[in-house]
Structure 1
Amino acid sequence: MNAQNITEPRSDALQHNVSAFAASFSRTTLPGRIIFGNDALISLDEELDARKAHRTILIVSDRQGHLSRLGRSALGSRLRAEWNTVRQHVPRELAARATDAAGAAGADSILAIGGGSTIGLGKAVAVATGLPLAVAPSTYAGSEMTPIYGLTDGHTKHTVRNDAALPAIVAYCPELFTALPPHIVGPSGLNALAHCAEALWSENCDPITDALALDGARRLQRSLHNAYDSTDAHSRADVLIAACLAGMALGTVGTSLHHSLCHLLGGMCNAPHAETHAVLLPYVIAFLQPAVPTTMGRLAEAMECAPDDLATHVWSLARSVGAPAGLREVGISRDAVEAVAQAAAGKPLHSPRPLGLQSLQSILHAAWSGESPQPT
């Protein structure tokens, strides 16, 4: 494959016309029920009854005992088994073992409580078994609003899109977020912002997904700092709504360049998911800005900065809420970054701007060093 021709550009003018004048489009919206409020977990009993789900397997990390207790309480006599082994990037063999546990328990439903890795495991089990999935997120990953999940085989991460992975019930309980430590709040919030941004420059975007993504970005701009600096319930709930909106938008339109690179870094380098998003996003914005200036202008307006300052604004925001100062700070070597660039150049990446090996090297090596993003 010629690395200089691995993608085709999308006209920003066309996107602007679609977004501004509501030209014709079609969209299949994502199904599912959302419950938002401090009694959301209590409401699961009624919601599961309505689906005639009476034998539930609980998936929750063994590192989050308080979430396990909440899940057990919410399920009561409905609980048939509890699976506690959760790993980031969801190793395929782990998903297979959890699936076997659901079958052995005679489960007719799944409840996953936790962050993106826990929910991702729940999705994999739901797809394998056909069982309805209920989730209660405890971070701002937004995975709960998408039919997308990842599975890893060794150092290769596979991104899967399957409607059976979309949770039937999402219980947003703001109280779960009051004790979330700042070092998770910051990168997790930037992960949500990456969902907003990627949804806006997707080739499948439309006025509805744009509205979701832009409102999510506005909420993150106004509330993420305070959610990081304090346990203010209003700010953390606002970021939670932003994560929901961002996930809805991205789950509808699908992923492209930014997520593709993050998934390669996760699979090949075992890079932490949220932190990788937080580090990489400003550099992807800087690279794509010349190709989609109208889109970036609208995102900049939502982020309350000048369009030309968008990449550095997001970079500064990430630093101010505790994101790592470069991929090198999450244990990735320069050689590993080069290997990821080489691997990415051999894949049909979706991008609004044509890119080849040199462009990929530029993005990834800048993100590795953590230097202020520069126009390319």
Structure 2
Amino acid sequence: MAGHDMSNMTTDITPTMEAVGPDETGTDQTLQSRSRLWQGIFWGALLAFLAAAPFFLYPVFVMQLLCFALFAAAFNLLIGFTGLLSFGHAAFFGGAAYVAGHALKVWGFPPLLGLAAGTLFAAALGWLVGSLAIRRQGIYFAMITLALAQIVYFFALQMPFTGGEDGLQGVPRGHLLGLISLNAPLAMYYFVAGVFLVAFLMIYRIIHSPFGQVLQAIRENEPRALSLGYNVDRFKLLAFVLSAALAGLAGSTKALVFQFASLTDAHWQMSGEVILMTLLGGMGTIFGPVVGAFIVVALQHALSGIGSWVQVVIGGTFIACVLLFRRGVVGELARILRINSL
């Protein structure tokens, strides 16, 4: 009887499992297909915008937008996909701008080597800051990054090669590969667009790699990731260094575009702005930081005539987005479209 009962139970359960399994699999495949479709649409729109932007928008404005979009995307790699909130990312953005500007102006580096110098400096600084900061979590981690960033700001103010309050001015753009003059607006624009696209593709690849999946596991449940055998601190440090290096690339590119580096680039307010951009666009999304950077930079340009009141408008916009779009603009769009990520 016992064997007969167990046989009946197995017979009863099996059809149910077979009915549920394929439906769940089909649903997952549908969501993945829909996500890939919409990501493809966004990629197409982004590429079309990059190709056509200098012909209907002021090129310098678009280059500034791309620099901040890369900065926000680099920051999002840390907070959105690793769960680490840094209040000191301006140190990497501004520090790299000074190093790249000095390398281009004083050492005579060509553009690519100048950007590489700034990026490597930001990566080294990120390793130093990250090695100290990851010893703590939460608000303590954020406060350590802010304190160390203020030290960098102090050095930027006091070091003789930075120009102090006047900033590092007269940074030459030079010639790309010794052939193409970057003083030509279109040449400079497409160079910046290329740098942004390569770096953004790198971030996209990191997110969708096994390494990126581990980072997201750490964000969701750090003790469980630790119990699975992952060296959590090492993954955090590597994510911090990558985020710092990409933020440094953004700062170096901005110094090349505007031909100067200023204290504003290393000020704590810059760290606040990149947090704002990321939250407005959608933390933990792929394209959210780009959209958030566009909103903030566009508002700053459009409302520049009202002076410091532009900060009030941006603050009001942020409050409205937090109340109405809790996941950010792109995050809410992904929810409306019923897709996993965008």
Which of the pair is proportionally richer in helix? Answer: 2
Q: Which has the higher contact order (CA 8 A, sep 6+)?
A: 2
Which of the pair is proportionally richer in strand? Answer: 1
Q: TM-score, normalised by structure 1?
A: 0.29
Structure number with greater Rg is 2
Q: TM-score, normalised by structure 2?
A: 0.31
